[in-house]
Amino acid sequence: MPATYEPIATTTLSTAASSITFSSIPSTYTDLRVVFVGTGTTSVGLKARFNGDTGTNYSYTELFGNGTGVFSGRGTSLNYFSLDPQRNLSTTIPIMNTLDVFSYAGSTNKTTLVTQSDDENGVGVILNMAHLWRSTSAINEISLLVFSSTITAGSIATLYGIKNA
Amino acid sequence: MPNTYQLISSNVLSSNVASVTFSSIPATYTDLVMRWSVRDSNVSVNANNFIYYNGNSSTTSYSQTYFRGGNSNGVSSTRNTDDNDIYLGYNNGSTSTSNTFSSGELYIPNYASTSTRPMSSFLANEENSTSSGWMHINAGLYRGTNAITSITLTASVNFLANSSFYLYGISKS
């Protein structure tokens, strides 16, 4: 059986940084998956962008639970993906995010599925999101970033490629 | 490139058991994924399913935030602090539609770390009934200070024969 789930690149921050970028992503896979586990040097939201696009081409629909109820929401015409719109990165407890990008090398708009698994023994959120990037360009770069802060040293982000054959 | 989604161990039950443990998990991977398909002998439509790590079910090392929906009752969210285990949700019990098994997945990033570790799980059962069937999505936290070397799933009563469990390791290189 062929290998169909392969690591493309990984970053473990040795020092705090405002972003983690995977560039020159080959177009040889079917789908991509990013797994992030980490913290922020301040309580700050984790974002993502494709191909460095800062245009208002991102939107999402979310479903989340926070221990008191289950809610849904929507964001339109944003200039980034929010990976944690309901709860920022913790400064102490690592949070897990996954980002699945389907048909990333195709010529249609790109749909992604994002999860956030955040429990901090007293607060937290479990979140699933459908994201849309309204671009027909193949994705060759994915950046995880925070604004006006940094991602803590020791945080890990790994990019995997998934093949259908 | 190497194949990094590798089967570490599997267990397809030949008889009913109250729990299943994957032990001596090597520290050579980056993340762990466990998938299972189970049915429980609990005389009920739904049967609770839990996990704990490293045999640690007696201390308050776990917490969780989850939401679930189904059973025609809408959706709800719950948070538990200082728990003894992680609650995965409902499996099919013995009075649910025959020959129906629930399916679940657990993802543990950075499992060999000795610091606090998050996890996520997804569990679903569907049985062609207008009054039952659930989806359960969980964010859990394990505050143990040792690397995860074993994972135990516990049934409500017993996992029935033919229930299956698969543990995979994922490497980043």
Q: For chain B, what are the domain ranges? A: 4-171
Q: What is the pLDDT of residue A3?
A: 72
Q: What is the pLDDT of residue B133?
A: 86
Give the CATH class of B4-171: mainly beta
Nearest CA in chain A to B63: A121
| B155-170 confidence digits (pLDDT tens) | 999 999 999 999 999 9
Among B3, B141, B148, most A C-beta atoms within 10 A, so best to mutate, is B141
Residue that the structure tokens 């690149």 belong to = A9
Among B45, B41, B44, B37, which residue's Cα sits nearest to residue B124?
Answer: B37
CB proximity under 8 Å: A 23-52 to B:
35, 37
| B128-154 confidence digits (pLDDT tens) | 777 788 899 999 999 998 999 999 999
Contact A21, A143 (CB under 8 A): yes
Mean pLDDT across chain B, nearest whole number? 91
Counting one residue from A and one from B, how many pairs have CB atoms under 8 Å apart?
Answer: 129
CATH number at residue A76: 2.60.120
Distance CA B77, CA B65 (A): 7
Interface contact flag, B120 A117, Cβ < 8 Å: yes
Partner residue opposite A10 with nearest CB, options B67, B69, B172: B172
How many domains does chain A divide into?
1
pLDDT average, residue stretch B31-54: 93
Q: What is the pLDDT of residue A149?
A: 97
Chain B residue numbers with beta carbons less than 8 Å from the beta carbon of A34 are none
A46: domain range? 4-163
Contact A51, A143 (CB under 8 A): no
Dihedral (Cα; A21, A24, A28, A31), 10-degree rounding: 20
- Closest-CA distance, A94 to chain B, in angstroms, reads 7
The DSSP element (H or E) to which B48 belongs, if any, is strand B46-53
> Predicted ipTM?
0.88
